[in-house]
């Protein structure tokens, strides 16, 4: 058990830096008019990976044992790392962040910089200015709300399908593939639409607010329908929930682009802040759902009601305070 816990901690540490690193690369390399597609392509890989993992893991375990999943997926990660070392660092785009003078955006300095230089660079980050911005707080809360629905559904929907909808374990496992599979399709459409609107001159803030609103209200509406006693057959409930969770992928063209919109220079740090808060529901939300389920014996109250609450309040906060207007953060602010 200690070894398993330690390995999970190491996985979390490794995965924790990857979203900010990817955001930094996109912010420096991709212009505004292509940002939604770039973000969706990169972060949409999470849905693709979920689908492949759910499809490949069962036959691997059945044929070669559970250890094969860790070994094969681990070697795939190592292979990706080795291949990525040969990728050349391109020139920053016109809308990207400048790479001069900042340790965070200089590949050369990032390798040869000392711990003292890193500490000095961290001190140069305008932390106070970040937390004085209403737009930043809107991103923080929106990330928390979206993660609550994502993590609780990821953890509890298979059990819901099995116990509440009376699907057998095999059916529940296959049904669990549907939301990320549908998300791949939705993500591509949302990204194309968002970039098209921005190219045509639609205000970037309006585009981001619209996409994020769809991302919140769609799953909230579908969860409300699933909570009502409408006498729907199980597969119709599955279809409703799958559609709602798939439409939540509009967030990749909403929230996940806004960090870069307001500050390409500090986009990776801003995502690190919001992603840290967004990780809390993965701990608190999943455990609280189990506690409420044991206490109320109601899936509507334990799984759906909290997610609906955060989706709706997240929408209000996002529409009120979110902005994609570029901000110049200063330590003097």
Model confidence pLDDT, tens digit, residues 257-285:
999 999 999 999 999 999 999 999 999 99
Which region among 49-63, 83-97, 128-142, 204-218 has the lowest average model confidence (pLDDT)?
A: 83-97
| Average pLDDT value for residue range 168-196 | 87
Across all residues in the chain, what is the average pLDDT? 86
At residue 255 the predicted structure's pLDDT band, cuts being 50, 70 and 90, is very high
pLDDT at position 277 = 96
pLDDT at position 165 = 85
pLDDT at position 331 = 62
pLDDT at position 92 = 55
Q: Give how many domains the chain has, as a whole number.
A: 1
Q: What is the spatial distance between Cα 165 and Cα 272, in angstroms, rounded to a whole number?
A: 38
Could you tell me the CA-to-CA distances from 309 to 45, 96, 135, 183, 313 in Å, in that order? Answer: 28, 36, 21, 22, 6
> Is 332 a member of any domain?
no
> Is 330 a member of any domain?
no
pLDDT at position 163 = 86
> Is 326 a member of any domain?
no
> Is 283 a member of any domain?
yes
Q: Is pLDDT of 99 > 70?
A: no
CATH number of the domain bearing residue 10:
1.20.1250.20
Q: List the domain range (segments joined by +) for residue 185.
A: 2-321
Q: Is pLDDT of 119 > 70?
A: no
Could you tell me the CA-to-CA distances from 133 to 24, 177, 263, 302, 306 in Å, in that order? Answer: 20, 38, 12, 33, 27
> Is 331 a member of any domain?
no
> Is 151 a member of any domain?
yes
Classified as helix, coil or strand, 56 is helix
Tell me the per-residue pLDDT of 3-14, one tens digit each, with 9 for 90 and over: 767 777 777 777
């Amino acid at each position: 058990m200690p070894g398993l816990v330690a390995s999970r901690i190491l996985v979390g540490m490794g995965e924790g830096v990857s979203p900010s690193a990817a955001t930094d690369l996109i912010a420096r390399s991709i212009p505004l008019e292509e940002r939604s597609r770039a973000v969706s392509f990169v972060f949409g890989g999470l849905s693709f990976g979920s689908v492949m993992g759910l499809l490949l893991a069962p036959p691997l375990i059945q044929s070669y044992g559970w250890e094969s999943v860790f070994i094969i997926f681990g070697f795939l990660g190592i292979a990706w790392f080795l291949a990525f070392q040969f990728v050349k660092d391109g020139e920053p785009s016109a809308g990207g962040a400048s790479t001069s003078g900042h340790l965070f955006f200089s590949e050369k300095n990032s390798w040869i910089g000392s711990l003292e230089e890193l500490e000095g660079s961290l001190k140069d980050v305008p932390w106070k200015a970040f937390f004085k911005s209403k737009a930043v707080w809107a991103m923080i809360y929106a990330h928390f709300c979206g993660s609550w629905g994502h993590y609780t559904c990821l953890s509890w929907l298979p059990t819901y399908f099995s116990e509440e909808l009376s699907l057998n374990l095999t059916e529940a496992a296959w049904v669990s593939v549907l939301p990320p599979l549908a998300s791949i399709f939705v993500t591509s459409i949302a990204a194309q639409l968002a970039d098209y609107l921005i190219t045509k001159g639609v205000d970037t803030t309006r585009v981001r607010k619209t996409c994020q609103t769809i991302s919140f209200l769609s799953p909230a509406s579908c969860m409300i329908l699933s909570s009502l006693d409408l006498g729907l057959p199980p597969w119709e409930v599955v279809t409703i929930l799958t559609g709602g969770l798939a439409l939540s992928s509009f967030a990749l063209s909403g929230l996940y682009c806004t960090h870069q919109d307001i500050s390409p220079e500090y986009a990776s740090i801003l995502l690190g802040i919001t992603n840290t808060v967004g990780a809390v529901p993965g701990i608190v939300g999943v455990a609280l759902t189990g506690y409420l389920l044991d206490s109320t014996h109601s899936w509507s109250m334990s799984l759906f009601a909290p997610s609906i609450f955060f989706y709706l309040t997240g929408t209000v906060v996002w529409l009120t305070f979110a902005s994609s207007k570029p901000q110049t953060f200063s330590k003097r602010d």
